Amino acid sequence: MGAAVRAGGAIEPQGGIVGTIRYHQPTGADAVSQGTASNAGAPPHDAQIRVELLSHPTYISGVRELVSSICRRIGFPELCCGQMALAVDEALCNVMKHGYEGREDQPISIGMHVHEDKGGSDHSSIRIVIEDRAKQVDPKSICGRDLQDVRPGGLGVHMIREIMDDAVYEKREGGGMRLIMSKKNPSQGSSCGLAGGGQNHG
Amino acid sequence: MADGTLQVGFETQGNVVVVTPQGEIGYSEATVFRTWLRKAHDAKTPRVVVDLSKVDYMNTPGVATLVESLQIAKKAKTRLILCGMNEKVFAIFRIARLDTVFEITPTAADAIAKA
């Protein structure tokens, strides 16, 4: 199984291409620092880093490593880096399982836009956009289940919304869905701004 | 779906079955993990201990297999005890508010000793 780098941003099935990573210099103002994902100034495709992959679960771990590494580089607390990677993992699982219904050869595109605070590390932020060509659903129907109802499944969307500052689903023009997520660097030492502190089990 | 690289230890200690997964429990590995958990319940011991000390990473498909396992245990009137979670794995249970639903101990020894 090989990998290849190619130019171009459209998400199309590419036989034999299992993953593509592109970096480019951002242009214009930073969108993440201007507001939440839903009202960010830059369009979703204005990413500094773009990863294109097929909908095969093998590739999720690589994306997770990349997200975690970027968050660490811009000064996010360690636990938060892992949780950011988890949010992206959950989003990809949902696309593969529900969107593409287990088909492993369908296109997924991930765009990342980073704002790094050069003067410190606690005002950096990241916006992550995940796009697919899967069946479209009403964005309002995408919601986490009631946590009081303890049963397997239905936790992924809840995880994403708990971890990220903002997570918005929308239909893509021409087919497929788009998830726009953003996160500002929580204060150092916090557990990604989530309720609760360290371990208290036992 | 690929099976991933999850390895699972399986041991019976008296009236306790100890399941010890090693590696990551993600989308690909959850199916394999579920198979081992079902095997543990099939042993019909009063307690099943899942030692997560060698699990580096888990996502919600992994958590879902444990919720399913808990439901099987409750139905059979047996106990499922989780132990050895690292901070990252425990955070997932906390976010999902499952940290109060499961019986959780710091180590496998604690879980095995628990009456």
Q: Provide the token pair at A156.
A: 């992924």
Nearest to B91 among A64, A83, A156 (CB): A83
B24 contacts B5 by C-beta, under 8 angstroms: yes
Nearest to A202 among B61, B68, B104 (CB): B104
Beta strands in B31-70 (DSSP E): 47-51, 55-58
* pLDDT tens per residue across span B63-97: 999 999 999 999 999 999 999 999 999 999 999 99
Which residues 57-86 of B have a C-beta within 8 angstroms of A?
57, 59-61, 63-65, 67-68, 70-71, 85
- Which residues neighbour B74 within 8 Å (Cβ) at sequence distance 6 or greater? none
Q: Provide the token pair at A40.
A: 């960010």
Stretch A43-58: mean pLDDT, rounded?
83
Nearest to B45 by CA among B93, B111, B99, B100: B111
Stretch A7-15: mean pLDDT, rounded?
48
Stretch A11-19: mean pLDDT, rounded?
51
Distance CA B33, CA B98 (A): 19
**DSSP of A53-87:** EES-GGGHHHHHHHHHHHHHHTT--HHHHHHHHHH
Average predicted confidence (pLDDT) for chain B: 92
- B59–A89: do the CB atoms touch at under 8 Å? yes
- B95–A194: do the CB atoms touch at under 8 Å? yes
Q: Does the beta carbon of B23 lie under 8 angstroms from any beta carbon of chain A?
A: no
- B27–A82: do the CB atoms touch at under 8 Å? no
Stretch A45-59: mean pLDDT, rounded?
88
Q: What's the pLDDT score for residue A71? A: 94
Percent of chain A at pLDDT exceeding 90: 51
- B96–A79: do the CB atoms touch at under 8 Å? no
* pLDDT tens per residue across span A103-160: 999 999 999 999 877 665 557 899 999 999 999 999 998 877 776 776 666 789 999 9
Q: What's the pLDDT score for residue B5? A: 80
Closest-CA distance of chain B to residue A161, Å:
10
Q: At what angle do helices A156-163 and A78-94 cross, to 10 degrees?
A: 140
Q: What's the pLDDT score for residue A115? A: 86
Task: Pick from A81, A84, A150, A191 the residue to mutate for testing the B interface (most B CBs within 10 Å).
Answer: A150
- B105–A155: do the CB atoms touch at under 8 Å? no
- A102–B1: do the CB atoms touch at under 8 Å? yes
Distance CA B71, CA B93 (A): 16
Which residues of chain A are within 8 Å of residue B90 when distances are taken between CB atoms? 199, 201
ipTM of the shown complex: 0.86
AA identity, residue B67:
V
- B65–A104: do the CB atoms touch at under 8 Å? no
**What does pTM read for this prediction?**
0.81
